[in-house]
Structure 1
Amino acid sequence: MLRWILLAIVAISSSIQAQTISALWQQVPGFKPLDVGTHQEVSLWLNERTAKKMGSIILLPDWGNRPTDDDAIEPLRQQLPNWGWQTIAITPPQPAKRDTLIEGKDTQAIEDYQKQLLASLDALDKARNERFGYQVVVAQGAMAAWIIRIYAQRQRPLPDALVIIDSYYPNLALNKAIAKELAQLTCPVYDLYFRDANNWALAGVNARRIAMQKAQKSNYRQSEIQSAAYLSVSGSLLAKRLYGWLSSLGWN
């Protein structure tokens, strides 16, 4: 039943950020609307399924993706509660001028979108009645690039750990900047990428590793995951890899 609900949601042509969120979203377990300014955005909450509470993991899917899309985010959202983690997935705001953002020349458009994303994260903070344990952020694709930029500019406090998946920005200069910005962060970073990721994501793999080595970041790890085409396998492997890395930090 849930699968049909999610497929129906994907078929909806109206924006997720419309004034009224589709009633179909409200049938998804853990759905909570986030009040962001004058509109609402989707957030999906799953509590830990163990007696011990490890903390919260915020999940940010790539541009244009919903939290329930069959990519890396959905398996993590579903499986991490089995190991004591609360998961909270949100739908990132859609940029009004995406092509302009990709060109990277309009600094005002970049600042405007960054403010949109910050507003979504601030709304999420307000929606959380209590915080407990460790705070982890997992961001995928272009959203990983944005969140790295926000932390590098100290627009938000660093999480206890940051996980990036297929990090990229579809612009040559801005894609190269990710590595330098990532090296400025002091929190533990787990850098994951799929073997068959897009060319932008694969282009930055070596640059990030070299930048972190030069910065002598001992709390950085980079790992390759098998083809994302086998999501049922890759998703489970991804969740286990992430859980293993968090445990290696002494969080168990």
Structure 2
Amino acid sequence: MKVSQTLHFFSLSSLLIGFMLLSTFSINSWAAEQVTSHPKYNYLESEEVILIEVGKQKSEVLVRSWVGKKELGAAILFSNPGMNADSAGLQAFLRRELPHTGWATIAITPPKKVSRLNFSTSPENISKAGEGKFNPNNAERTPQYSKAQWEKIREKQETFITNTMNKLDEIGTPYPGKRILIATNQGAGFVISMLSKNMLAKPDILVLINPFMGTTHENLGLPKLLATLDIPVLDIQSADGHVASQKTTTDRRLLSPQNEPYRYRQQLMLLNLDHAEAWQTCLDLIEGFAHRVNNPY
């Protein structure tokens, strides 16, 4: 009897130990899945990162809820192509600070950046050491993208943006109210162009920061397109903005509605956007403009 009881005890012990090991393994596996599910943003809370399907690829959307009693709506943040949804600097600052002013933030991943064509030199034209020769034809610029190629590139980028934006209605459901679209650099150029073609839903307020486009033709056409938008626009130009954005600063102001501060306002900043003080200034400008538009009288 004692032998039987002993064997029974060891059997139960073995089952218990096996169950504990299996449970521990399962928990560790689940934890690893949680940590590695968004490796790019593993420094953020898991509920802050939403993975969406855009065409045949996955894309991240970062969401931050309101902080405090104000619940005015949501601000959609759209950065420069090639960046991520939490790009260091102004983008990351606004994403974290706007919720304290009553605006939940929804930051989207921009489309990929267009690769630049570089100078190319054929191997047979490289001068040997000591020859002391220079042939101006040795370094020739590779052919630029043709008009048809640019159109295909733009079409892909615009499709990516449209498909991403179409997902935001559901994501933004917990944050009813107004919608601010904040776009920077070439992302702002895309927004101007796509809104003018009715490819994006109109936001209640549009904030542009150093807007430009990648080609001269597209860039110089932005002021006219901007003037056609029938929405309140805050146009911020910083001292260190891309040279292409600086070229259109005056035209953007002159072609937009005059003496209509609730329709269009351009703000020139003396500080560079690599200064934290400039980030705070942008936040104050956005908060102030939104307040005036929402409370005109």
TM range (shorter): 0.7 to 0.9
Counterpart amino acid of 1:51?
A: K
Q: Is the 8 A contact 1:60 1:92 kept in 2?
A: yes
Determine the structure 2 residue equivalent to 1:84. 102
Counterpart amino acid of 1:141?
A: N
Determine the structure 1 residue equivalent to 2:92. 74
In structure 2, the residue corresponding to 1:249 is in which secondary structure?
helix
Question: How far apart are the structure 1 equivalents of 2:92 and 2:57?
Answer: 24
Counterpart amino acid of 1:194?
A: S
How many residues get paired?
233
Query: Which of 290, 294, 297 lines up with 1:246 in the alignment?
Result: 290
Query: Which of 71, 81, 84 lines up with 1:63 in the alignment?
Result: 81
TM-score, reference length from structure 1? 0.82
Determine the structure 2 residue equivalent to 1:93. 111
Question: How far apart are the structure 2 equivalents of 1:130 and 1:22?
Answer: 22
State the percentage of identical aligned residues.
Answer: 21
Bigger Cα displacement from structure 2, 213-222 vs 198-207: 213-222
Question: How far apart are the structure 1 equivalents of 2:176 and 2:146?
Answer: 37
Within-5 A mapping of 1:179-218: 179-213=223-257
Bigger Cα displacement from structure 2, 225-234 vs 178-187: 225-234
Query: Which of 139, 146, 161 lines up with 2:190 in the alignment?
Result: 146
Cα gap change, 1:181 to 1:217, in 2 (>3 Å): farther
Question: How far apart are the structure 1 equivalents of 2:291 and 2:283?
Answer: 12
Question: How far apart are the structure 1 equivalents of 2:85 and 2:271?
Answer: 20
Counterpart amino acid of 2:68?
A: T
Q: Is the 8 A contact 2:89 2:274 kept in 1?
A: no
Bigger Cα displacement from structure 2, 38-47 vs 97-106: 97-106
Instruction: Point out where structure 2 has 5 or more consecutive residues left out of the alignment.
Output: 1-35, 118-143
Determine the structure 2 residue equivalent to 1:170. 214
Question: How far apart are the structure 1 equivalents of 2:149 and 2:255?
Answer: 25
Bigger Cα displacement from structure 2, 127-136 vs 159-168: 127-136
Counterpart amino acid of 2:104?
A: Q
Determine the structure 1 residue equivalent to 2:204. 160
TM-score, reference length from structure 2? 0.71
In structure 1, the residue corresponding to 2:167 is in which secondary structure?
helix
Structure scoring higher RCO (CA < 8 A, sep ≥ 6) equals: 1
Structure 1 residue 239 displacement after superposition: 0.5
Question: How far apart are the structure 2 equivalents of 1:148 and 1:204?
Answer: 13
